[in-house]
Structure 1
Amino acid sequence: MALISTININLRRPASFQLKTPVLFRRREAVAFNSKPRKKVLTDSVFVCPASRRNSNSTTATDVSVSELDDNTRKGDPVWAISSDTINSLVGLSLNFFFILPLMNSVVGIHAPVLHPMSEGLFNFVIGWTFMFAPLLFTDRNRDRYKGSLDVLWGFQMFLTNTFLIPYMAIRLNKPDAEYTPKKASQLGLVMVNGAPVVGVIGGAACLISILWALFGRSDGDFGGVADRWEFLVSYLGSERLAYAFIWDICLYIVFQPWLIGENLQNVKENNANLVKYLSFVPVVGLVAYLLCLDVDEEV
C-alpha cells in the first residue's frame, strides 16, 4: 500500500502544467456538471442591428395615413357629432312618417324620399308605438306626481326619444304630495283619452304595416327578398346610430308598457281587465288592448 501511494504521488501533474481556470468558468463547469443534460446552446451572443432599409412598398404601424386615423377616430365620435348622412337619413324617414308620402306617391305621383324599406319600417314601428303611449300617460293614476307638462313630455317622446320617460317613471314612484292640486286635463289630453280606441287602431295599424313594409315594401326596387332585407337589418343595427336609437326605444317600451298598464288596470272595463293584464306583456298588442278596452267615461 505504501508503494502504491508513493507512485500516485509521483504521477501527479506538475504544478507548472496545471491550467489556471478563471473563477467564472469554473463556476460554469460546476453548474454544468451538476445540472441535467440540455440542448447545446451557443455561448457567443450575436447582436443584430434592427435597423433596415425602408421599403417604400411595405406598410408598418407608422405608415398609417392621417385619413385612416381620422376614420378610426370618427368611429368613436360623441353623440352630438352626427354625420350629414345620418341627418339626411333622419329627414327622409321623417318625411315618410306613417308612410303617408310613399302611399300618396303610388296613388297621385307625389315624390317621396326612397330609403331602404327595412329602415322605414323600423322607424314607423317605433313612431306608431309612441303614438299609442299618449292615452296611457294621460290616464296614469300617478301622473299628478309629475309636476311638469305631460304634453311636453309626450312631445319629446314622440319627436325625439322615449328616453324622457325614464325620469317620469322614477318621479311617479314618489309619495303623493298632499298639498298638490291636480292639474286640469289639457286639450291634448282630452283628445287622446276620448279618442283612445281610435288612437289604438291607428297606432296598431301603423305598427303592423311597418312590419309588412319592412319585409315586402318597395318590391319594385332593388332591395331583394326577405333574406336580403334581414341581412341589411343586421348590418344596419350594427353600424347606424339611428338604428341604435330605435332599438333603445323598443327595449324601453318593452319594459314600460306592462309596468304602466299593470298599475292602471282600474281604468279598463271590468270584464276586460284580466285579458288586458295578460296581453300587457305582449309588445304593441297589450297597449292596443288597453286603449280599446279603456273606460273613457270614468277617465273623462
Structure 2
Amino acid sequence: MSTATLLSTTNTNFQRPATFQLKTPTLLFTRQQPVFPFPFPFNSKPFELHTNVLTDNPLLSVCSASRRSSTTTTATDGSVSELDDNTRKVLQFALWAAEGVYIIWLFLLPYAPGDPVWAISSDTINSLIGLSLNFFFILPLMNSVVGINLLEAPVLHPMSEGLFNFVIGWTFMFAPLLFTDRNRDRYKGSLDVLWGFQMFLTNTFLIPYMAIRLNKPDTEYTPKKASQLESVMVNGAPVVGVVGGAACLISILWALFGRADGNFGGVADRWEFLVSYLGSERLAYAFIWDICLYIVFQPWLIGENLQNVEKSKANLVKYLSFVPVFGLVAYLLCLDVDEEV
C-alpha cells in the first residue's frame, strides 16, 4: 500500500512539468498559426518552430508584398515599353518609306518636274557645275568685291544660287549636331562619310540615319575614337554655326538683291522665276523637299540632345529649335563643348 502511494505521488509530480511545457508554446504562438501540431521540444529555438517563414513573419510578409508590387509595376512598365517600342517601329517604318519615296520619286520616276537621273540633260549638268563653283558665293564675291579674277564665277540666276547655297549652308551646320547626337552610336558606319555624302545628296543619307538611330541600344558597343573631322566640327561648333548661318542669310539676300547689274529684275521678277524654276528643274524641286525634311529633323535632333547645351540656355535653344536654320545656329552657339568632348 505504501509502495502504490509512493508511485502515485511520483507520477503526479512528473505530470506537472509536462503541463507547464504545453502551456509555454501555446502562449507563445497564440497570435500566429503554427504549421506543426503540439507538443514542441522544450529546447527548440523560436525560429525553428516555424517552417513557413515567409507567410508567418509579419515583417517578411510586408517585404513579400513589396516584391509583388514591384512585379506588378514591372509588368506595367513593360506595357509602356511595349507601346514605346511600337511607336519606335512605326517611326522607323515611316522613315524607311520616306527614303524609298525620296529616291524613287526624285531620282528615278519621270513624273516630278525636270529630268530623272537616268535622263539628265546637259543643261542641268552645267547648271549643277556652275552652282558648285559658286559654293557659299566665294568665287562671285572674290571677283566682284575683292577683285581677284583668277577664275571667273559662272553667271547664274541669283535665285537659283540663293536656293542652292541656302540648303548647303543648312546642311553644313548639321555636322556638329550629328557628331553630338546621343544616339549616334547606333549608326555603325562612319559619320564622316555620311555627312560628306549629305553635303552632296542631302536627305538621301540623312533619312536613313534618322531611322537607324531609332534602333535599340547595343549593350556591347565599344565607343569609337573621335575622328579629326569630328573634333574640328565639335570644338569649332560656334564657328560652324556662324559660317552656316551667315551663308543662309546671305543666300536669301543674294536671291532677292544679288547681281543687281545683271538684268535679273526686281523681287517680283525673281519670285516669278523661282516658281518657274521649281516647276521645271528637278534639282530645285528636290531642294524644296530637303527644306521641308530639315524643318522636321532639326527640332527632332536638337530636342533629344539638349543635354549637350549649356544648362542656362537650354530652354532658349529648346524654343528656337523649331525656327528653321536659326534654331540650329542657336544649338551650335550654346553647345557645351567641354561637357561633350
Q: TM range, normalised to the smaller chain?
A: 0.7 to 0.9
Q: C-alpha offsets along residues 209-267 of structure 1, whole Å, 9 cap, x if unaligned?
A: 00000000000011000000000000001110110121121111111000000000000
Q: C-alpha offsets along residues 40-83 of structure 1, whole Å, 9 cap, x if unaligned?
A: xxxxxxxxxxxxxxxxxxxxxxxxxxxxxxxx999885432211
- Aligned-pair distance for 1:163? 2.0
- Say whether the 8 Å CA contact 2:256–2:267 is kept in structure 1: yes
Among 213, 227, 230, the residue aligned to 2:254: 213
Among 74, 78, 92, the residue aligned to 2:130: 92
Which residue does 1:108 correspond to in 2? Answer: 147
- Say whether the 8 Å CA contact 1:135–1:196 is kept in structure 2: yes
Percent of aligned pairs with the same residue?
91
- Say whether the 8 Å CA contact 1:143–1:172 is kept in structure 2: yes
CA distance in 2: counterparts of 1:230 and 1:179, whole angstroms: 54
- Say whether the 8 Å CA contact 2:115–2:282 is kept in structure 1: no
Q: Cα–Cα, structure 1 residues 268 and 195, in superposed 2: closer, same or farther, change >3 Å?
A: same
Matched, 1:81 2:119: yes
Q: Which amino acid aligns with 2:331?
A: Y
- Aligned-pair distance for 1:109? 4.6
Q: Cα–Cα, structure 1 residues 220 and 167, in superposed 2: closer, same or farther, change >3 Å?
A: same
Which residue does 1:18 correspond to in 2? Answer: none
Q: Which amino acid aligns with 1:187?
A: Q
TM-align CA RMSD: 1.7
Equivalent residue runs for 1:1-300 within 5 Å: 78-106=116-144, 107-110=146-149, 111-300=152-341
Q: Cα–Cα, structure 1 residues 105 and 145, in superposed 2: closer, same or farther, change >3 Å?
A: same
- For structure 2, the residue ranges without an aligned partner over 5 or more in a row are 1-109
- Say whether the 8 Å CA contact 1:156–1:162 is kept in structure 2: no
Q: C-alpha offsets along residues 178-221 of structure 1, whole Å, 9 cap, x if unaligned?
A: 11111111110000000000000000000000000000000001
User: Matched residue pairs, number?
Assistant: 229
- Say whether the 8 Å CA contact 2:114–2:282 is kept in structure 1: no
Q: Which amino acid aligns with 2:137?
A: F
- Say whether the 8 Å CA contact 1:163–1:249 is kept in structure 2: no
- Say whether the 8 Å CA contact 2:240–2:332 is kept in structure 1: yes
CA distance in 1: counterparts of 2:127 and 2:113, whole angstroms: 18
CA distance in 1: counterparts of 2:183 and 2:143, whole angstroms: 44
Q: Cα–Cα, structure 1 residues 223 and 77, in superposed 2: closer, same or farther, change >3 Å?
A: closer
- Between stretches 136-145 and 104-113, larger displacement belongs to 104-113
- For structure 1, the residue ranges without an aligned partner over 5 or more in a row are 1-71
CA distance in 2: counterparts of 1:224 and 1:293, whole angstroms: 40
Q: TM-score, normalised by structure 1?
A: 0.74
- Say whether the 8 Å CA contact 1:145–1:176 is kept in structure 2: yes
Q: TM-score, normalised by structure 2?
A: 0.65
